Amino acid sequence: KNILLYLSLFLSLLSCNKPVTGKSGEEGIKVEEIVWDGVKRADITYQLLVYSFADGDGDLYGDFKGLKDRLDYIDALGASAIWLSPIHPSEAYHGYGVIDYERVNEKFGTEKDFKDFLDAAHARGIKVYLDFVLNHSATDCEWFKQACAGNPEYKDFYIFSENPKSDISAGKIPTIASEGAAGYNASEWRAARIAGVSENLKFTLDWNSTPPSLKVEKVSDISNTGTKPSGKYLWWGEGNCTEFYSQTPGVYTLSLAFKSDWGCLVRTSNTSWDNGTKYGAPSGSNILEWGVPLPLSNSDNADISLPGAQFFHSHFRTDAFADFNFGAAAESEKSGAFKALAKAADKWIALGVDGFRLDAVKHIYHNMNGTENAIFLKKFYDHCNASYKASGREDDIYMVGEVFEEANIAAPYYAGLPALFEFSFWFRLQWALNNGVGRYFYKDINSYHTAYKAVREGAKAATKLSNHDEDRAGSSLGKSLEKEKLAAAVLLTMEGSPYIYQGEELGYYGTKERGDEWVR
């Protein structure tokens, strides 16, 4: 009720065309500037991207020294915490493909530079939260390399399957099991360089069938008969392009000592590489069976994988990421991946960080509407909170999860975490400001908080306008200074712990139309 009363008064003030008056007949009340007394009351967190915020050594790339030099600026904004984009080594500029969870990216400086920044932030009463990626690592991560090399210590860190569609339908992959067959998406699987195939093989290409087909058999004799040129080629291994032998019209064979960690393709040219000359497997059926013809396609032509080649799953549909395998949620803390990530988190807690922002938590177990993610997250939070208290701190560790969804989908995740980003806040506020209709806003937001507290007493909504994955608030509000000011006022007076995204305090514009970099 107090919030509603305050907002009503605030909106009334904005709409006044003359001075606010007191009792009837009195002069207009003089409105004086309020000077901040320096006490941080709003629980504001400033989100910044290390690589683009401040350069401290002149190489035109953001770093820890630059952050330390700008702490007085952040302090003057009234921020009581900073959320840093991933600080770990990564081939991706944004850092979300982590190579090593226990090191800092050398582009940002040394671990000592980070500790100097951390200590300087704490001296100003500013906490520091690290972005932590639990869903996946980079394929350049040593854990993934060891898993692909067959190291038994790491082989279960990731999701491997020779036949994802079949294994998902049979419930053999715990992170996708609760979705059943609907959890299979061919575009989310990539051939992993693991095991591979090293065999004496005979390939039979039947160009008379519709569509053409390829049959592969294990053989002891790799001698070849028939005639060349045939105009048909097998592309395989490390850049090998070997011509088939013609047998009867439309039938071609090739026997060889085959070794490939990705598979093969059929080509009708050894000089042209466009799609018209490339024949592969239709997506989702690219693992052939020994001795069984596999239909080929020259439009939907994925790499042909042989039995024994394994696959890794990546929800984010890129070869650069590999999803972790935590096993069944109820026992996820026993998995190797959980233990390794918890160990890494412990290192940063011991160093002095105050909390974590957890990336993409709705994708850890793929049924985002199920209970598995909340069960997993509670285990991870409880572990980190115990480590935090063991380090000598009396409060609870801060941990906020990213569930990029409406509030009704995010609410159940409070069973696992004390704080979640409230994307619905910005969705509703943006609509209200751009349509000039405010009467629904408070009722909507209040209903979200009621839902949160039904799951967790003391649930903390991390309110925000835009962030690094969205168009800039200034652009979304039509570059209207009046709307931007009102958005900021509502953000900083509504219930919740507000986040300010770097540059938002300056009214930055930018859209994702040409890529994420334009909002980062």
Q: Is 238 a catalytic residue?
A: no
Q: Which token pair is 175?
A: 């992170």
- Tell me how crowded residue 195 is: count the other CB atoms within 10 A of its CB: 15
Q: Which of 63, 323, 359, 422 is catalytic?
A: 359
| Contacting residues for 342 by C-beta, under 8 A, at least 6 apart | 333, 380, 383, 384
Residue type (1 letter), 98: V
Active site residue 402: yes
CA atoms within 13 A on the CB side of 215: 12
236 by Cβ neighbours in 10 Å (0-12 / 13-18 / 19+) ranks as buried
Contact status, residue 342 vs residue 384, Cβ threshold 8 Å: yes
Q: How far is CA 381 from the centre of its chain?
A: 19
Closest CA to 293 of 173, 237, 211, 396: 211
Indicate the Cα dihedral angle 192, 195, 201, 203, nearest 10°. -10
From the candidates 131, 402, 470, 484, which is the catalytic residue?
402
Residue/partner pairs of 427-436 with CB below 8 Å, 24 or more apart: 429/465, 429/487, 429/490, 429/491, 430/473, 430/476, 430/477, 430/487, 433/477, 433/483, 433/486, 433/487, 434/476, 434/477, 434/478, 434/483
Q: How far apart are CA 401 and CA 347, in angstroms?
A: 20
Question: Edge-to-edge strand order for the sheet containing 419-421?
Answer: 460-462, 419-421, 398-401, 355-359, 127-133, 79-84, 44-48, 499-501
Nearest to 50 by CA among 148, 131, 153: 131
Give catalytic residues, as residue numbers: 359, 402
